[in-house]
Chain A
Amino acid sequence: DQQVKQNSPSLSVQEGRISILNCDYTNSMFDYFLWYKKYPAEGPTFLISISSIKDKNEDGRFTVFLNKSAKHLSLHIVPSQPGDSAVYFCAAAYQGGSEKLVFGKGMKLTVNP
């Protein structure tokens, strides 16, 4: 039973446009959410996170939105760049990002020049 779901396996966008990656979760006890970027045969790289007490967190081109009532979060990348092409994982934690994480299956983002 997947507690963190990334329902779209892939997304393709043009360079300069916005990329929107979605993530849904089922467990209302999660209180911290993170996005990771991963290249093949490498470990994930942390991108951005958000606490459940917030509904938005921004860091440069990356913004994460959290809708607790809908149990939904999204990652916006603006503007998208070819170097953003990778697999993006959404992860959730019960007590902060330093605790064990529950990952979604990932979404492959391709940014076309």
Chain B
Amino acid sequence: GAVVSQHPSWVICKSGTSVKIECRSLDFQATTMFWYRQFPKQSLMLMATSNEGSKATYEQGVEKDKFLINHASLTLSTLTVTSAHPEDSSFYICSAPTQAYEETQYFGPGTRLLVL
């Protein structure tokens, strides 16, 4: 079946540094990918829609200059958390829809970010 990978799975960084998270679709192409964020015991909240070859679309309240998204190819989207602070600590998950299967999305395994 379709697989979406994320790298890294875990990252710990110091406050003020930037962290890049990669999301890859492994056996299908994705012109669109979605980035979600989940706080403990909370729902997954959509942050932005990553579009291959164009700018990402951000949800209301999400700072586009802080969460930089680049969709460089049909199989790769990256999320960069710039100047990370402890409140950015969270679980970040990407997803990619595919029309080749039942209309749905496949999610990556997630990236746990801890900012000290």
Contact = CB atoms under 8 A, between A and B. Distances in A.
B104 A34 contact: yes
B43 A105 contact: yes
A100 B32 CA distance: 10
Interface residues of A, number: 24
Contacts of B32: 98
B105 interface: yes
B98 interface: yes
Contacts, number: 64
Contact of A105 (B34, B42, B107, B110): B42
Interface in A91-113: 96-106
Helix, strand, loop or mixed for chain B's interface?
A: strand
B110 A101 contact: no
Interface of B: 4, 6, 32, 34, 36, 41-46, 49, 91, 93, 95, 97-99, 102-110, 112
A106 B41 CA distance: 8
A84 B103 CA distance: 23
A89 B44 contact: yes
A45 interface: yes
B104 A100 contact: no
Nearest to B112: A41
A54 to B, nearest CB: 13
